[in-house]
């Protein structure tokens, strides 16, 4: 294809050697995975070989070293944003849970910013839901700049910026057609949330499969993160026992937490935060316009399961951002502290501060002649 480089004979041979190793069920080293994903990101690897590579990893089962190498390859090629304030946080999920809920992490971003927490929100178009972060932001009339200096200024001056993944990871386009054709989760679903362009060291990551909770946290720790929660919510009574890539009211949430250089496993129930359980169907979402209307009503003070889910996730993020102590130094949950963080989040929903953050983002859109509507 015009404009797409082809592999040299040595590169093609190296990639096929890696494929042969995977076919034998062997695990790649971090360096080998970084090299392989780097070749894919640089273009020139035929779609058939990309598909074979991703499926070989999926069938055998991806390993942490392979995830780490892949993340290093993508991070080294992304359009970075910075500098941003210390303690800037990202809240995002891997997608892939297939439950089609309302937008949680996008709403949480407005709540956190209203509380003075700098947020560099990384997102994409819909994957597992009908309306991803950039879909609902577009429906809300929020501008997504693709200029790293503009994004950094928004975080530094206004505590909040949204970053559309395609604008910062253009190299990912080389795998896009294969991912779409395969139509299944691959290692790429995990890579994106671990490649925040602003280089945040505080992060809440929702994960589609609890088996990946610890590897995700260990990977981020090796890459310099300071505080991380990787979460997977179990939806009691959901068809097929599916879980969700966020903290949930529908059952217990499994958490792997990093703080003070140590990693802890814990379980959190909505009652721990003083919130009532609710089925996952209570936050069923729709298209971008429908989800945008629900998000606007939430920020304007509407009550219900959507609000309580956002409060639960916002409280967790406040702890991850260093604005609270929901865990003690031994990784044990402090319910009273968690409930205080829920109250902090509720205050900015009730006093209009969170809605003001949305309106400010809308005004920026009105003042900006251009935005981006790209997708992977």
Q: What is the per-residue pLDDT across 194-214, written as a single tens digit (0 to 9) for each?
A: 999 999 999 999 999 999 999
246 is in an annotated binding site: yes
101 is in an annotated binding site: yes
| pLDDT, averaged across the chain | 92
353 is in an annotated binding site: no
DSSP one-letter code for 246: S
Looking at residue 344, its pLDDT comes to 98
232 is in an annotated binding site: no
Segment 217-241, tens digit of pLDDT: 999 999 999 999 999 999 987 655 6
CA 319 to each of CA 197, 240, 314, 324: distance values in angstroms, whole numbers, following the listed order: 22, 32, 9, 5
Share of the chain above pLDDT 90, in %: 84
125 is in an annotated binding site: yes
Looking at residue 239, its pLDDT comes to 55
159 is in an annotated binding site: no
296 is in an annotated binding site: no
How would you label 306-321 residue by residue, b for 16+ Cβ within 10 Å and e otherwise?
bbbbbbbbbbbbbbbb
Structure tokens at 328: 């003690």
Tell me the mean pLDDT in the region 340-359.
98
E strands present in the chain: 89-93, 119-123, 160-164, 202-206, 227-234, 243-244, 253-259, 262-268
Inter-residue contact 68 to 30 (CB < 8 Å): yes
Is the pLDDT at 365 greater than 90? The verdict is no
E strands present in 198-338: 202-206, 227-234, 243-244, 253-259, 262-268
126 is in an annotated binding site: yes
Distance, CA of 203 to CA of 193 (rounded, Å): 9
- Could you tell me the pLDDT band of residue 96, with boundaries at 50, 70 and 90? low
Tell me the mean pLDDT in the region 301-314.
98
Inter-residue contact 273 to 311 (CB < 8 Å): yes
Phi and psi, residue 271, nearest 5°: -65, -30
Q: Which helix (H) or strand (E) holds 177?
A: helix 176-182
List, in order of start, the domains of the chain with CATH numbers. 7-74 (1.20.970.10), 87-359 (3.40.1030.10)
Tell me the mean pLDDT in the region 82-90.
96
97 is in an annotated binding site: yes
Residue 179: asked if its preceding bond is cis (omega within 30°), the reply is: no
133 is in an annotated binding site: yes
| Strand bridging mode 253-259 / 227-234 | antiparallel
Inter-residue contact 161 to 155 (CB < 8 Å): yes
- Give Cα 53 distance to the centre of its chain: 24
57 is in an annotated binding site: no
Distance, CA of 60 to CA of 80 (rounded, Å): 33
124 is in an annotated binding site: yes
Segment 141-192, tens digit of pLDDT: 998 999 999 999 999 999 999 999 899 999 999 999 999 999 888 999 999 9
Residues counted in the chain: 376
Residue that the structure tokens 């935060």 belong to: 273
253 is in an annotated binding site: no
pTM: 0.92
245 is in an annotated binding site: yes
179 is in an annotated binding site: yes
Residue 150: asked if its preceding bond is cis (omega within 30°), the reply is: no
| DSSP bridge pairs for 121 | 162
Inter-residue contact 39 to 11 (CB < 8 Å): yes
């Amino acid at each position: 294809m015009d404009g797409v480089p082809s592999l040299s004979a040595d590169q093609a041979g190296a990639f096929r050697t890696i494929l042969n190793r995977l076919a034998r069920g062997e695990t790649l080293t971090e360096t080998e995975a970084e090299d392989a994903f780097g070749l894919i990101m640089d273009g020139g690897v035929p779609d058939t070989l990309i598909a074979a590579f991703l499926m070989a990893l999926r069938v055998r089962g991806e390993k942490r070293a392979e995830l780490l190498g892949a993340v290093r390859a993508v991070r080294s090629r992304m359009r970075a944003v910075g500098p941003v304030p210390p303690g800037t946080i990202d809240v995002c999920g891997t997608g892939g849970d297939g439950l089609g809920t309302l937008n949680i992490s996008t709403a949480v971003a407005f709540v956190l910013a209203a509380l003075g927490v700098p947020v560099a929100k990384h997102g994409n178009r819909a994957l597992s839901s009908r309306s991803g972060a950039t879909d609902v932001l577009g429906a809300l009339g929020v501008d997504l700049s693709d200029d790293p200096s503009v994004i950094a200024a928004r975080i530094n001056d206004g505590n909040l910026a949204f970053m559309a993944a395609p604008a910062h990871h253009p190299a990912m386009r080389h795998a896009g057609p294969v991912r779409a054709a395969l139509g299944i989760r691959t290692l790429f679903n995990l890579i994106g949330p671990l490649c925040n362009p602003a280089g945040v060291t505080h992060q809440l990551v929702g994960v589609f499969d609890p088996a990946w909770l610890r590897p995700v946290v260990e990977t981020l720790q090796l890459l310099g993160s300071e505080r991380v929660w990787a979460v997977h919510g179990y939806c009691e009574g959901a068809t097929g026992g599916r879980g969700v890539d966020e903290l949930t009211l529908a059952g217990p949430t499994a958490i792997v937490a990093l703080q003070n250089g140590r990693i802890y496993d814990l379980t959190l129930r909505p009652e721990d935060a003083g919130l009532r359980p609710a089925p996952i169907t209570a936050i069923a979402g729709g298209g971008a316009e429908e989800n945008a209307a629900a998000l606007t009503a939430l920020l304007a003070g509407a009550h219900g399961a959507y609000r309580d889910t956002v409060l639960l996730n916002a409280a967790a993020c406040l702890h991850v951002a260093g604005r609270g102590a929901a865990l003690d130094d031994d990784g044990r949950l402090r319910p009273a502290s968690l409930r205080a963080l829920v109250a902090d989040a509720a205050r900015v929903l009730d006093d209009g501060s969170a809605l003001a953050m949305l309106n400010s983002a809308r005004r920026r859109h009105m003042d900006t002649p251009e935005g981006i509507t790209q997708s992977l």
